[in-house]
Structure 1
Amino acid sequence: MESAPPTFASPKLPPQADPSTPVEPLKIFEPEVYAQATLYVPSDQLETYRSAPYWKDFSRITTLDHYYTSLEGVIADSEVTYDVYTLSGMLVLRGVPDMDIRAGLPSGIYIIRGSDGTARKEYIR
């Protein structure tokens, strides 16, 4: 069985379901989510979420303090460059920074592959 991704609730008070919703009983999450996901909430609201309708049904509720870490800043080791390909796989640009990808390309859909391992499709107008 796959584990559910973390679920975050950052409002100071637990969100309330609209009581006028015609579905009875009101189904907020699938039972698997309540059983498998961890709900991360503001540390000063842990007990509020543990007693709030729907939110209290999560089997694991913990504070955001257990999830986030602090970063002072991020310094990239190197600038990411991109190779640009046509949909047929022909290389049209090599090693360009992101801001230069669109320069001089005719309209069309391109595959953009980054030196950091990322890839995306982009439509150039």
Structure 2
Amino acid sequence: NLFKSFYADCGAKKMGRKAHAYFAAYSGAELAGHSVIFRRNGRWIMDELRVKAEFRQQGIAKRLTEARLRYAVKNGAREVWYSCDDGNLVTICCHLRYGFEKVCPDKHRCSAAASHWYRLTITPALLKKFPELKK
């Protein structure tokens, strides 16, 4: 299985929900990166962003993130969410450039500072700043 071998070195758990869309980046026939987006309770949630170590620092994560955002926008998203550990600064910085804000989701008892969730509100100003999200 392609994804089983891709994740063999990291101990990542199998995703417990069905993705709405899968995105992959290849170098020749080799899978270099992978990510998904899904809907849960009306929210678009980006998940499972991973780029193999030997392919990092080449813009693959940025392109996979843009592909997921573009997909969500084309499918009517008003907001896009993702979650990550506070120590994952590369991922956080990749997403903050688009305007994601750290928030505490509804029905959670936490402050934004204690949360691991980030939300991007899709606005005309965002789409003007990042026209590649409308393509």
The alignment's TM-score, normalised by the length of structure 2, stands at: 0.24
The alignment's TM-score, normalised by the length of structure 1, stands at: 0.25
Which structure dedicates a bigger proportion of its chain to helix? 2
Q: Name which one, 1 or 2, has greater alpha-carbon Rg.
A: 1
